[in-house]
Amino acid sequence: FFFIFIGILSTLGNGYVIFMSSKRKKKLRPAEIMTVNLAVCDFGISVVGKPFSIISFFSHRWVFGWIGCRWYGWAGFFFGCGSLITMTAVSLDRYLKICHLSYGTWLKRHHAFICLAIIWAYAMFWATVPFAGVGSYAPEPFGTSCTLDWWLAQASVAGQAFILSILFFCLLFPTAVIVFSYVKIILKVKSSTKEVAHYDTRIQNSHILEMKLTKVAMLICAGFLIAWIPYAVVSVWSAFGQPDSVPIQFSVVPTLLAKSAAMYNPIIYQVIDCKFACCRSGGLKTLQKKSSLNKSR
């Protein structure tokens, strides 16, 4: 029932974000294009993965066979990795935009699309590597969904190398980039807020927009990491700890938390957009007053 709830909310929420973005696709900024790509990844997780797991949960076992298990594991890892790498790219974009202002003068939409191609290729590579015999996908300990075969690390040195590579390139390195980017952004914002107050209205409005996009990105990354870090900890525990050291009942909760990550982002978009709309309406009133004064003069 929990999966049904988050599946419906994430599908409708991310579908709404994609639909509304498609109506103004020619006006999307590079950072907004990345955000739409994140919604596509979350929508893919909801549509492709949730029905398999919901039916299996009600059946108390995985009912789609070995091929279905590998497909479900691949899809979950592909879209999950795509989400994290997209957020890494967004955090780098925000870092360069806020901390290195000259970066914003040359970044164009086609650069964002090149970045999207790299993100999808990166996710495709790591999700498909297990099919080459290096790793594998296997059922979760509770038997109603599938994931990467973390237990390969218990079997051989090659399995340990595969799991460590996945952990570094698909979790630790992207997370380190995200944390570094937003720490630098926070330090920069604290030092530059007073300076922006002395600029004219157009620069202030541009600053407000950039900060709105940065807040969205920070909240999205925080929500994603909070949802997935417990799952990653349990997975590493299963891979390198004692066999069967993770209680089956305990392994269910991080999985449910991780699968709910796709539901948070549309809520974050709406909350920030509502606040931004209030600020923007106030700024428009100020501009209208100024224009009326200029006309009267």
Beta bridge partners of 137: 148
Q: Is 31 in contact with 94 (CB distance < 8 Å)?
A: yes
CA–CA separation, 175 and 111 (whole Å): 23
Q: Residue type for 251, please?
A: S
Residue spans of the domains in the chain: they are 1-269
Average pLDDT of the residues of the chain? 80
pLDDT of residue 295: 43
Once rounded to an integer, what is the mean pLDDT over residues 152-177? 87
pLDDT of residue 117 exceeding 90: yes
Q: Is 42 in contact with 86 (CB distance < 8 Å)?
A: no
Once rounded to an integer, what is the mean pLDDT over residues 236-245? 75
pTM summary value: 0.81
Question: 5-39: per-residue pLDDT in tens?
Answer: 988 988 998 998 888 888 887 788 877 888 889 88
Segment holding 146, helix H or strand E: strand 146-148
Segment holding 147, helix H or strand E: strand 146-148
Closest listed residue to residue 64, CA positions, set 1, 152, 181, 146 = 146
SS (H, E, C) 70-127: HHHHHHHHHHHHHHHHHHHHHHHHHHHHHHCHHHHHCCCHHHHHHHHHHHHHHHHHHH
pLDDT of residue 64 exceeding 90: yes
Task: Match 């940065």 to its residue by tokens.
Answer: 214
Q: Residue type for 91, please?
A: S
pLDDT of residue 79: 93
pLDDT of residue 241 exceeding 80: no
pLDDT of residue 265 exceeding 80: no
Question: 66-77: per-residue pLDDT in tens?
Answer: 999 999 999 999
- The CATH label, of 1.20.1070.10, 3.40.50.2000, 3.60.15.10, 1.10.10.10, for the domain at 1-269 is 1.20.1070.10
pLDDT of residue 290 exceeding 60: no
Q: How many residues does the chain have?
A: 297
Closest listed residue to residue 144, CA positions, set 77, 82, 73, 78 = 73
CB atoms within 10 A of CB 186: 13
| Pairs from 182-187 (Cβ < 8 Å, separation ≥ 24) | 182/91, 182/94, 182/95, 182/218, 182/221, 184/95, 184/99, 185/94, 185/95, 185/98, 185/99, 185/214, 185/218
| Pairs from 38-41 (Cβ < 8 Å, separation ≥ 24) | 38/83, 38/86, 38/87, 38/90, 38/220, 38/265, 39/14, 39/265, 39/266, 40/14, 41/79, 41/80, 41/82, 41/83, 41/86
